[in-house]
Amino acid sequence: MTTPATPSAAGPAPFSRIKIRVGALVFCGGEVALIRRDRPGSFHYTPPGGNVEPGEDLEGALRRELAEELNLYPDPASAPELLWVVDQRVSRPGPTPPPRKLHLIYRLHVTPEVRQELAVEEYDEQPGGGHEVGIVEWVDHRRAADLPLFPLIGSALAALPDPHAVVADAALAAVTDDNYVWV
List the domain boundaries for the chain: 18-176
pLDDT of residue 94: 78
Please state the rounded mean pLDDT for residues 79-103: 90
Lowest mean pLDDT among 6-20, 41-55, 62-76, 85-99: 6-20
Q: Model confidence over 32-83: pLDDT tens digits?
A: 999 999 988 889 999 999 999 999 999 999 999 999 999 999 788 999 999 9
Contacts of 70 (CB under 8 A, 6+ apart): 26, 33, 48, 118, 119, 122, 136
Domain 18-176 has CATH 3.90.79.10: yes
pLDDT of residue 9: 53
Whether 26 contacts 69, CB under 8 Å:
no
Spatial separation of the C-alpha atoms in residues 76 and 79, rounded to whole Å: 9
Instruction: Look up residue 95 and give its DSSP letter.
Output: S
Q: Tell me the Cα Rg of the chain.
A: 17
How many C-beta atoms surround the C-beta of residue 2 within 10 A?
4
Q: Answer whether residue 15 shows pLDDT above 90.
A: no
Whether 115 contacts 65, CB under 8 Å:
no
Contacts of 83 (CB under 8 A, 6+ apart): 25, 105, 106, 107, 167, 170
Spatial separation of the C-alpha atoms in residues 71 and 51, rounded to whole Å: 17
